[in-house]
């Protein structure tokens, strides 16, 4: 007995994990498969007869309308991404494959939920430019921002300051209290540094116990000195009770200003690093703790 495939097709469509949409010339939803309830939280009968654009994220409407025009002009679009707003208000990221059917007189699209993929992509992008422990900007992104800031400072005849910070005697914390405790101290240093600067400034972990701070559009040398004094004061605050017997270590800060101490990134970094070690030597020679 031959199979009645015509009768089987609707059941197959509703078994698909991806959602099938059929949308007419006026953007009204003519058909949606059962998977839509998992995707957007709406039952099929709630969506049929309503405009599909009403479910799209407002920020993606322009790009989506351009894709719709492309599809209706006979060019299938099989790799389009946009966002929809679920019935519960959550945002879902969707990958579409769509084409226009002259026979049906409608746009047919298959929608796949790629929210988890999008989140993984965002995390990978973040990790590519940030330190995984402290969540601060990493060396690579910091160098990019320093180069961009130098170009802007040159163009606008403005100044910037680069601070190079090293935690004094940090190795002792790792040796005595363990690396987990040392990591917690590094995270505390990171949070305190971020709290000292503006959103337009950049704090980075360069590696180990070394950090850099990029201060843009500095008004005067006194402003830099004030910022260094603020950072030193904040870093001198004791650790919380959760750190037990661990004392907050002091830090040494070297400063380089553009254009006085150099006009390129390498020169400024070298100058700030040298100044930081000069401060360390002075600390050791005078017995400052």
276 with 152, same domain?
yes
247 with 147, same domain?
yes
187 with 276, same domain?
yes
Averaged pLDDT, 36-56: 96
Model pLDDT for residues 216-252, shown as the tens digit of each residue: 988 888 999 999 999 999 999 999 888 888 889 999 9
Number of domains in the chain: 2
Averaged pLDDT, 66-92: 95
User: How much of the chain, in percent, has pLDDT values that exceed 70?
Assistant: 96
209 tagged catalytic: yes
User: How much of the chain, in percent, has pLDDT values that exceed 90?
Assistant: 84
pLDDT on residue 272: 96
pLDDT on residue 12: 78
| CA separation for the pair 202, 272 (Å, rounded) | 15
154 with 274, same domain?
yes
Q: Count other C-beta atoms under 10 Å from residue 140's C-beta.
A: 12
69 with 141, same domain?
no
Mean pLDDT, the chain, rounded, equals 92
pLDDT on residue 4: 61
| CA separation for the pair 214, 200 (Å, rounded) | 9
Model pLDDT for residues 3-36, shown as the tens digit of each residue: 565 666 677 788 888 999 999 999 999 999 999 9
Catalytic residue among 209, 247, 266, 273: 209
Lowest mean pLDDT among 57-61, 83-87, 89-93, 277-281: 277-281
From the list 53, 70, 272, the residue with the least C-alpha distance to 160 is 272
CATH number at residue 207: 3.30.70.270
Q: Which of 81, 100, 119 delimits the end of a domain?
A: 119
Residue 125 lies in a domain: no
Model pLDDT for residues 255-275, shown as the tens digit of each residue: 999 999 999 999 999 999 999
| CA separation for the pair 269, 285 (Å, rounded) | 24
72 with 139, same domain?
no
Q: What is the 3-state secondary structure (H, E, C) of the chain?
A: CCCCHHHHHHHHHHHCCCEEEEEECCCEEEEECCCHHHHHCCCHHHHCCCEHHHHECHHHHHHHHHHHHHHHCCCCEEEEEEEEECCCCCEEEEEEEEEEECCCCEEEEEEEECHHHHHHHHHHHHHHHECCCCCCECHHHHHHHHHHHHHHHHHHCCCEEEEEEEECCHHHHHHHHCHHHHHHHHHHHHHHHHHHCCCCCEEEEEECCEEEEEEECCCCHHHHHHHHHHHHHHHCCCCCHHHCCCCCCCEEEEEEEECCCCCCHHHHHHHHHHHHHHHHHHHHHHCCC
Q: Is the pTM of this model over 0.85?
A: no
Q: Which of 119, 142, 168 delimits the end of a domain?
A: 119
Report CA-CA distances (Å) from 222 to 1, 201, 228, 262.
92, 17, 10, 19
Going by C-beta distance under 8 Å and a sequence separation of 6 or more, which residues neighbour residue 233? Answer: none
pLDDT at 147 over 80: yes
| CA separation for the pair 72, 106 (Å, rounded) | 9
Report CA-CA distances (Å) from 186 to 19, 181, 189, 239, 243.
47, 9, 5, 12, 12
pLDDT at 289 over 70: no
pLDDT on residue 286: 72
Bridge partners, residue 115, by sequence = none
Model pLDDT for residues 149-206, shown as the tens digit of each residue: 999 999 999 999 999 999 998 999 999 999 999 999 999 999 999 999 999 999 999 9
Give the structural domain span for 173.
130-286
The owner of tokens 């920020």 is 59
pLDDT on residue 288: 59
Residue 225 lies in a domain: yes
The token duo for 259 is 């254009």
CATH number at residue 59: 3.30.450.20
pLDDT on residue 217: 85
From the list 273, 232, 230, 228, the residue with the least C-alpha distance to 250 is 232
Q: Which of 69, 88, 119 delimits the end of a domain?
A: 119
pLDDT on residue 284: 74
């Amino acid at each position: 007995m031959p199979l009645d495939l015509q009768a089987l097709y609707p059941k197959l469509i509703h078994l698909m994990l991806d959602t099938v949409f059929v949308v007419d010339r006026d953007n009204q939803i003519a058909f949606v498969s059962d998977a839509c309830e998992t995707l957007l939280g709406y039952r099929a009968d709630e969506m049929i007869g309503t405009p599909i654009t009403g479910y799209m994220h407002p920020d993606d409407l322009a790009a989506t309308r351009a894709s719709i025009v492309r599809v209706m002009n006979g060019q299938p679009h099989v790799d389009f991404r946009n966002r929809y707003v679920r019935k519960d208000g959550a945002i879902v990221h969707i990958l579409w494959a769509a084409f226009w059917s002259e026979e049906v007189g409608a746009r047919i699209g298959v929608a796949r939920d790629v929210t988890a993929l999008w989140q993984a992509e965002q995390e990978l992008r973040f990790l590519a430019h940030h330190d995984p422990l402290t969540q601060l900007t990493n060396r690579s992104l910091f160098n990019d921002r320093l180069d961009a800031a130098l170009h802007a400072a040159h163009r606008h005849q403005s100044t910037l300051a680069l601070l190079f910070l090293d935690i004094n005697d940090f190795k002792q914390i790792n040796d005595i209290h363990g690396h987990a405790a040392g990591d917690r101290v590094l995270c505390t240093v990171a949070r305190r540094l971020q709290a000292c600067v503006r959103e337009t400034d950049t704090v980075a972990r360069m590696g180990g116990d070394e950090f850099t701070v990029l201060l843009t559009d500095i008004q005067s040398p006194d402003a830099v000195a004030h910022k260094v004094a603020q950072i030193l004061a904040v870093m001198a605050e004791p650790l919380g009770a959760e750190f037990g017997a661990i004392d907050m270590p002091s830090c040494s800060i070297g400063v380089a200003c553009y254009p006085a101490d150099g006009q390129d990134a390498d020169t400024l970094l070298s100058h700030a690093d040298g100044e930081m070690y000069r401060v360390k030597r002075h600390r050791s020679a005078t017995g400052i703790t």
